[in-house]
Amino acid sequence: MRRKASLVLLACAVFCAALSPLLRWYAFPRLARIPANQYQDMVLEARGATLLDYGTMRAKKVSKVTIVQTLKGDVEAAKKIGRTAGRPVVVWDSLSYVQGPDGKMVSKVPERYIFDAHSQDPVHATGEMVDGDPVTRDGIEFKWPFLTQKRDYEYFDAQTRTTSPIHYEGTRTFRGLPVYYFEQTIPWTRVPMPKTMPVQGITPETVAKTGTTRWYTTVRRFWVEPVTGAPVYGEELHKEELRGGTLLGGRAKVTAFAGHVKMREDYIAHTVALVKQNRTLVLVLTSYAPWSLLGLGVLLLALSLVLEARARSPRGPAPRQPEESAPVSV
């Protein structure tokens, strides 16, 4: 009986030990994926910003500038591109909508971002663009990979349409979460005018005819939760200028926008709560369950060996039976 129980425990130990690495290295890449139908929005604000008044072509201080960013997954496009790429992909249609303190539109820039559902590596396909211009992204954008490492990453900048390093600057704590802090500086760079301008009749083509150009610089900061790779907070020190040409009336340059852009508080709280929930799910696949199964396997193996040892141990001598006394004759 002990030997049968030992064999059952041994089989269970082998099963747990085999399931542990399978869960981490086989199930995790297939289960931890960005959903193709994901939709999310984010509101950022720059209080006390400087904004260009296109009526007077003069920069002025305003109470705040609001940036609304939306991401919407295109499921059908993801399926089609995924079949061609031979792996699951996500297609995000994003829109960055900027409005002044009066609620009027300052600019809006659409993007189509295509990437691997698990690794977040860019996937190049027809339709990848920024503001209608075809692009070929290198590096990440919006999100870091699962199990983010303490190193620099290549990050795509939509304004310049270029990729440059975003630097790991250390580990910090944000709202009770351990996070990695990343920072990227984009030096002054000439960038295209937005296709949609805030004044009727002004287009990138009409601005180009005046000889006026648009320049941009930013310091980009992200606090990234490393297990999920999701930024829980982000901000930018953002500046834009118009330079030269007849549009500025002889001035060398004018500030189009300057401000410290930060996530709005209610969106910070929502993001942190969501990331905490997803962090637990990822840890179940990468740490909690694999290590628990491995520990259980070791325990079952030890119990199996104990039972086997007891089954094999020699039994003591059988107790002696009392001898029958011979009959006594008289």
Tens digits of per-residue pLDDT, 102-138?
999 999 999 999 999 999 999 999 999 999 999 999 9
Per-residue model confidence (pLDDT) at position 330: 44
Classify the phi-psi angles of 86: left when phi > 0, otherwise alpha if psi is within -120 to 50, otherwise beta.
Answer: left
- Cβ atoms of 94 and 69 within 8 Å: the answer is yes
The first and second tokens of residue 218, run together, are 């930013």
Q: 169: helix, coil or strand?
A: strand
Kind of pairing, strands 133-134 and 153-157? unpaired
* Diameter over CA atoms, the chain: 151
Residues of the chain predicted below pLDDT 50: 329-330
Task: Name the pTM for this structure.
Answer: 0.88
Per-residue model confidence (pLDDT) at position 116: 96
The first and second tokens of residue 157, run together, are 């900048």
* pLDDT (tens digit per residue) in 276-300: 999 999 999 999 999 999 899 889 8
For the residues of 179-238, what is the DSSP string, one character each? EEEEEEEEEEEEEPPPSS-SSTT--HHHHHHHT-EEEEEEEEEEEEETTTTEEEEEEEEE
Per-residue model confidence (pLDDT) at position 320: 61
Tell me the HSE value of 86 on the side-chain side, using a 13 A CA sphere. 0
Residue 150 is given by DSSP the state S
Residue 141 is given by DSSP the state -
- Give the integer Cα–Cα distance in Å for 58 and 251: 11
- Give the integer Cα–Cα distance in Å for 213 and 243: 5
Per-residue model confidence (pLDDT) at position 273: 95
Sign of the CA dihedral running 315, 318, 319, 320: negative
Q: 301: helix, coil or strand?
A: helix
**Which pairs count as long-range contacts for 91-98, CB under 8 Å and 24+ apart, including other chains?**
91/36, 91/127, 92/38, 92/142, 94/69, 94/70, 94/142, 95/68, 95/69, 95/70, 96/67, 96/68, 96/69, 96/158, 97/67, 97/68, 97/69, 97/70, 98/65, 98/66, 98/67, 98/257
CA distances from 329 to 252, 288, 324, 326 (A): 142, 83, 15, 9
Q: Which sequence spans correspond to the domains of the chain?
A: 1-31+280-313, 32-263
Per-residue model confidence (pLDDT) at position 160: 96
Residue 122 is given by DSSP the state B
